[in-house]
Structure 1
């Protein structure tokens, strides 16, 4: 995906099994845990492009969060600060070839960043 594309959406859930059944029946999403990502079932839309995960709801994660693919998380976080946003979580590894980070914009919207390639099976 090119720099700037939305690549993933996490949905916070309190009851994973209930959420899996709900979103599968509502939208037809295929939802499954993937080896290496246990406890984090991932969904894929029927278009086979859109997708995301069902993540545990918790403090600071109560609304869906979109992730935008970027060429460089470090450069993007530097721009976030220049433009009046706030870094919530610095670059963290997902795998050996992929990373993520979180920031808020000047209006307090929380957005995730993604860099790299993740083999999710």
Structure 2
């Protein structure tokens, strides 16, 4: 993936098992938990390219959220803020080689940022 590509889509759900059954049956997605990320099953589309996660629904996370791969979260957040965005979640580690953050665009949309090894 390259800077600017959508790399991941999280879908907020109330019942992980029910959502897994729904999306795998409806779209043919493969859905499974990945070791180290229990309680956050990952989905992959039949094209083996598109994917994301089923995440617990929470306050502030009530709609699907796309994650855009960036070369630098720090630089992207600075540019986003200069352009009128705010930060909903500061940069945080996913692993030793990857990070994520969430910005809110000037129209109120939450956009995830991803930096690291896909």
TM-score, L = length of structure 1: 0.96
Shift of 1:2: 0.5
Distance in 1 of aligned mates of 2:38 and 2:96:
17
Corresponding residue for 2:52?
52
Structure 1 gaps of 5+ residues are none
TM-score, L = length of structure 2: 0.99
Q: Which runs of 4 or more aligned residues in structure 1 lie more than 2 Å from their structure 2 counterparts after TM superposition?
A: none
Distance in 1 of aligned mates of 2:36 and 2:98:
14
Corresponding residue for 2:13?
13
Structure 2 gaps of 5+ residues are none
Computed over aligned residues only, the root mean square deviation of the Cα atoms, in angstroms, reads 0.6
CA deviation vs aligned residue, 1:33-74 (integer Å, no higher than 9, x gap):
010100000000000000000000000000000000000000
Shift of 1:111: 0.3
Distance in 1 of aligned mates of 2:11 and 2:68:
15
Corresponding residue for 1:87?
87
